[in-house]
Amino acid sequence: MIYIITYLILALAVSFFSFGKRISYRGVFFISLLLTPIIGLVIALKADNNIRTHHYTTTYTCPSCDSVNNEYEKICPVCGNEMEVSHHEVGKLNLA
C-alpha cells in the first residue's frame, strides 16, 4: 500500500515540471502513471516551452515638437505637423 501511495506522489510531483511547457500536466501525470515517473520527468523536461504572446501599444509622435500621444491623431495638436506612428512592446516602451 505504501508503494502505491509513493508512486502516486512521485507521478504528481513529476507533473509539476510540465507547467509552462507545451504538454499538459495531466498528460505528464498519466504518462508517469502508465510508464514510470522517470519517463514522465524526461518527457516534461524535453517538452518545448509555451509560445510567448507579445502585446504592443501604438504611440503617435510629432517629429518636430516631440509631443507623444497614445490616441489616434494624424495632426499634432501642439504644432500642427503630421504625427509619426510607432509600435512598442508593452513593458519595453521607451519614450526617452
How does pLDDT run across 24-75, given as a tens digit for each residue? 888 899 999 999 999 998 988 888 877 666 677 778 888 878 777 777 777 8
Mean pLDDT for the chain overall:
81
Is 76 domain-assigned?
yes
Is 95 domain-assigned?
no
Is 81 domain-assigned?
yes
Instruction: Say if pTM beats, i.e. exceeds, 0.85.
Output: no
**Domain with 72 in it:** 56-89
Asked if residues 41 and 12 have their Cβ atoms less than 8 Å apart, the reply is no
Exposure pattern of 81-90 as b/e (b: 16+ CB <10 Å)? eebeeeeeee
- In this structure, the answer to whether residues 42 and 6 fall within a common structural domain is yes
Show the DSSP H helices in 35-93 as ranges. Answer: 37-46
* pLDDT (0 to 100) of residue 29: 92
Asked if residues 85 and 60 have their Cβ atoms less than 8 Å apart, the reply is yes
- In this structure, the answer to whether residues 8 and 40 fall within a common structural domain is yes
Is 20 domain-assigned?
yes
